Structure 1
Amino acid sequence: MPEAGEESGSGLTSARWTHVALPSSDLDASIVFYTSMTPLVVVAVREDAAGRSAWLSNEGQWRTPFVLVLVDFVRERGARHPIMTPFAHLGIEVPRRADVDDAAARARAAGCLHWEPQDLPDPVGYVCALTDPDGNVIEISHGQRVFSTVRDLWGPRG
């Protein structure tokens, strides 16, 4: 059964949320950060006269893909432009509380832990945050239920 906004076997029939794009001062360092500190994988890397870009997403998430686009513009190469700080952030929900602790331990060892793991009131849950090579904040959460709230609202019943 097709999802809202899609025809069976063809393409898009209505608007859809697809990606967030952020500048990167060092695309290779950003790729290493996101593929080692988060569950994201590289979907595509592109290069043209303006610079390089990388698309990252959850592996195998083809029904509801959402992509983080990182762009390293030639004219700004090496210039940091943190966009998501101090509170603005990208959120990644993980299936186990221990996954938050694991992410925090990796980030602590790498010197990029932004918030220590903590329990916050509903609906936030158990969270920590990391800082990417450009200073952007990435929240790792368990129990926040952002994904399940949307699925419960519009997903199949019974």
Structure 2
Amino acid sequence: MPTELTEARWTHIALPTGDLDKAIGFYTSLTPLVAVERFKDADGESVWLSNAHQVETPFVLVLVSFSKDKGEKLGLLAPFAHIGIEVPKREDVDAIAAKARELDCLHWEPRQMPNPVGYICALKDPDGNVIEISHDQRVFDSVRALWGRQPS
């Protein structure tokens, strides 16, 4: 049974894609995202992607492929605008970068950046959107720590 919503919350980002299957393949093979649900109607198709079993704080990337845009390259996030995904280990960044390099979709080589950025690389999805993969960026932990503090 759904819990009652008592405050507004951040739930998803939606991006258009010209090839839904290709985009799903990209995200499910190069990021920790999995397909949660897929939908189809008269206007086209969409998919919800999220971290597997992320129940406490789900966040969804919605990919939408409108029939009228099939085959078009519809990237909106570039050259620096991006979606950020944090991975547990520095080696995860290197492994994802190596796979992206083989697939010719590595946008930024892995590099250590000053705090608070951490160790990062970036990929380009099939539509040209930039996806940052980071380790030790701690965006999630930092926000939780800030909100967890009691006002003085």
Instruction: Please give the TM-score of this superposition, normalised by the length of structure 1.
Output: 0.91
- The corresponding residue for 2:95 is 102
CA distance in 2, matches of 1:10, 1:108: 43
C-alpha deviation, 1:154, in angstroms: 2.5
Q: Where do 1:55-134 residues align within 5 Å? A: 55-134=48-127
Alignment of 1:136 with 2:126, yes or no, is: no
CA distance in 1, matches of 2:53, 2:148: 19
What are the ranges of 5 or more consecutive residues in structure 2 without an aligned counterpart?
none
Residue 27 of structure 2 aligns to which amino acid in structure 1? Answer: Y
Where does structure 1 differ by over 6 angstroms across 4 or more consecutive aligned residues? none
- The corresponding residue for 1:6 is none
Task: State, as a whole percentage, how many aligned pairs show the same letter.
Answer: 62
What are the ranges of 5 or more consecutive residues in structure 1 without an aligned counterpart?
1-8
Q: How many residues align?
A: 150
What is the RMSD computed on CA atoms of the aligned residues? 1.6
1:79 is paired with a residue whose SS is coil
2:8 is paired with a residue whose SS is coil
Residue 128 of structure 1 aligns to which amino acid in structure 2? Answer: C
Instruction: Please give the TM-score of this superposition, normalised by the length of structure 2.
Output: 0.95
C-alpha deviation, 1:11, in angstroms: 2.0
